[in-house]
Structure 1
Amino acid sequence: MTAQFDAIGLVTTDMAASLAFYRRLGVNIPADADTEPHVEATLQGGLRLLWDTVAVVRSFDPDWTPSSSGSERIGLAFLCGSPADVDKTYAELVESGIGREHKEPWDAFWGQRYAVVLDPDGNGVSLFAPLAD
C-alpha cells in the first residue's frame, strides 16, 4: 500500500488556548475537547488536524523538546472569503489576545491579501484571499 497524507499534528502547551484559536478560524472542534490530551478535527476534504499536549508526546518520546531555533519549518494557511476578511480575521485574533502579531495584512505581489498570525504555541498561520481583479 502506498502511504496517504492524512493529518497534520500540532504539539501544544495549552490545549484550551490552541483550540480556541483554531475555532476562531472556523475549525469545528467540540467544546468539551479543551481538557483532553489528544484532540482531532476533520477538515473539509477529509484531512485531519490533530493536537497533542507536550505530556502526550513525551509519553512515547521522552526526550522530545520544542525547536529552539525560532524559525518556522511548516505553517498552516486559511483561505478567507475576501481581502477585507483577511484584515478582520487577523485583527480579531490579535485583539482577542489568542493570536500574536507576526506579519500584518498586506497586498502580496502574487495577487493575494496576505497576513501571518502566530497561534498560542508560536506556529505561523497564514490568512489569505485573492485580490480583486
Structure 2
Amino acid sequence: MLGDDISPEQLQFGEQLTQRGLQLEQAMAEVQNGLAVLEQQELVKMAKAKAKKAAMTAAKQKAAAQNQRFAKKHKIPPKMKKAPPKKKGIPKYKDPQSVIKKLPIAKAGASVDMLGLAQGGGGGSGAG
C-alpha cells in the first residue's frame, strides 16, 4: 500500500499544504467578490451620471420649448441664439503710442504718424 511509506511529518506537511491551498482559494474568492462589488459601484456611478446628464438635457429642452411658446404667444421676434463672436485684435487704448508698442511693426521702427493712427483712424498705409 502507498500509505505505509508516508511518515507522520509528511502527512502533517501535506495537511498544512491543503489548508493553505484552501485559505488561498478563499482569499481569491473574496478578492473576486470585492472586485465585482467595485465594478458594480462603478457601473452605478456611470449610470447615475448618465441619468443626471439626460435629466439636464430634458430640462434644457423643456425650458427652450416654453420660451418658444411664450415668444410665439407674445409675438416676440426671434433673437440670435448665441452672442456674436468677439472681435479679435488690438484692444482700444486711449494712447495710440501704447498700441503701436504692441504691434510687431513697431519693432521695425514705425511711428504713430507713419501708421496713420495719430488721428485715431483705422489701418495706416505707411510702410515700416
TMscore range, shorter length: under 0.3
TM-score, normalised with respect to structure 2: 0.14
Between structures 1 and 2, the one with greater helix share:
2
Between structures 1 and 2, the one with greater strand share:
1
TM-score, normalised with respect to structure 1: 0.13
- Structure with max Cα Rg: 2
